[in-house]
Amino acid sequence: MNKLVSKISIFFLNSLAGLSWKNAFRISTMLSWLLFDVVRYRRKVILNNLRNSFPDKTEAELALIADKFYIHFTDLILETLKFRTAPPEVIRERLQGDLSIINNLYHQNKSAIFLMGHRGNWELANLFSSLEFSHDCIVVYRPLQNKEFDKWFLDYRTRFGAKLVPMDKIFKELLTPRTKPFVVVLANDQSANPKTAFWTKFLHQDTGIFRGVEAIARKLNLPVLYAEFSKVENKRGYYHVDITTITETPKEIPVNGILEKQIQILEQDIRLQPHNWLWSHRRWKHCKPECLKPEQLLSLVP
């Protein structure tokens, strides 16, 4: 995509931010029909992911989950455009939850890892965390190849003071001296390199998990929190966050124990609200290697 086309596309996307929420969701409904019923965008991927993840469900039940996911997916697109310019009061209105766990850590002058999956609206979650947390917010991200869109997202995600850092530079960033504690915000449920991933069972399938969280937590001895972003039923564009503690002492639990607990919680949450996850992602495109290194397995001892 050349620079001119990128600029025109970004202008069009920014223009949609001026729509009312009611009209934004009307467009989302039409876009869902166009994208999944006409274009049939990744329908096979979505349905195969659902069948493999829920072998006990009937085709009718899976179709219902898929239909609700299609709307959720296009809602995310329109919501993301709206949140691009939304004022702080709208962010606070659209995402609510008890922040006492992370506030207590701040009062103890403790930094932490704030871990989430691709549930709810993760762009809203990033804005909410940088707006509401007293910690310095450091968001781990993957730079886009398109420079215009990369800048668009950087401006988006940092407008309330968050700092975006690529994963390969995160250790250097976290070792930088600071005047107050920080929180590292990242999603950890994408498809990982099979040769370095931790391998476990997730939704009935062999699944590789990025080990970056484990490495950061152990090296810096950081508490690890998990955030579940659920959709508020019958209120499009509204979410609720529940924060739980995975561990406060990462060096005292088995290797990959943080990741195993994270993936168990994520699976439980997906089962409770199955349409609220990124089923269009090719999560299981890698096969489990025949031989795994010790660091790719769950240790039995700390």
pLDDT 10s digits, 13-44: 888 889 999 999 999 999 999 999 999 999 99
A 10 A CB-CB count for 227 gives: 23
pLDDT 10s digits, 184-219: 999 999 999 999 999 999 999 999 999 999 999 999
Residue 1 scores a pLDDT above 60: no
**222 alpha-carbon distance from chain centroid:** 20
Residue 101 scores a pLDDT above 90: yes
